[in-house]
Homo-oligomer: A and B are copies of this chain.
Amino acid sequence: MSIALRRHMEAIVPLTDAEFDHILSYFTTKKLKKHQFLVQEGNEVLHEYFVVKGLLKASYTNETGKEHILQFAMEDWWITDYQAYVNQTKATLNIDCLEETTLLCFSAENKKKLCAESHKVEHFSRMKTTSGFVALQQRILTLLNNDAQSRYELLLAQYPLLFQRVPKSLIAAYLGVSRETLSRFSGK
């Protein structure tokens, strides 16, 4: 079950069995059903989560009730309200399950300890964050440079699997388009 995490980490840093067991001891497991919330607006965010199985979304809902999706997370992805997790502030995002989900939970405190005691883990974390950073820059450029339709097509090309697991209305909320508009060009 935690073999997924090991594979995920070993793609960046090699680990001995003992090292991995030690790392794993800093994680706890959590299972959630579809529609359950992992993080709710206004609450503290103590953990970062690694998705072993399932699918979630992190979203912001504004005063007018409109929901914008900041990220999806499926197997081998990490998710949390990073703003709140990093700065130890209250969540502004909601994170909930689109499917039954199994997670490995990494508390900010444990992450800090483990990164301090293990250069390998710190390195792994830096690498992961760096690729996340690059991906976010890419997404910003896509938002700035492309109209709704080409954003849709780019996402479809990049994550075809996502479209089989997520309703189109949520894809729209991720792309920053109304579901009606998205519907109009998903047909072509």
- A interface vs B, CB < 8 Å? 60, 62, 66, 68, 70-71, 82-83, 86-87, 115-116, 119, 122-123, 125-126, 129-134, 136-141, 143-145, 176
Contact = CB atoms under 8 A, between A and B. Distances in A.
Nearest to A71: B137
Contacts of A82: 130, 133-134, 137
Contacts of A139: 140
B176 A144 contact: yes
B129 A68 contact: no
Contacts of A143: 140, 143-144, 176
A70 B139 CA distance: 10
Contacts of A133: 82, 129, 132-133, 136
A70 B176 contact: no
Counting every copy of the chain, the complex holds 2
Contacts of A122: 119, 122-123, 126
Contact of A126 (B126, B145, B176): B126
A142 to B, nearest CB: 10
A131 B123 CA distance: 16
A46 to B, nearest CB: 16
B86 A134 contact: yes
Nearest to A131: B86
20 contacts: A60-B141, A68-B141, A68-B144, A82-B130, A82-B133, A82-B134, A82-B137, A83-B138, A86-B130, A86-B134, A87-B134, A119-B122, A122-B122, A125-B126, A126-B129, A129-B133, A136-B137, A140-B143, A143-B144, A143-B176
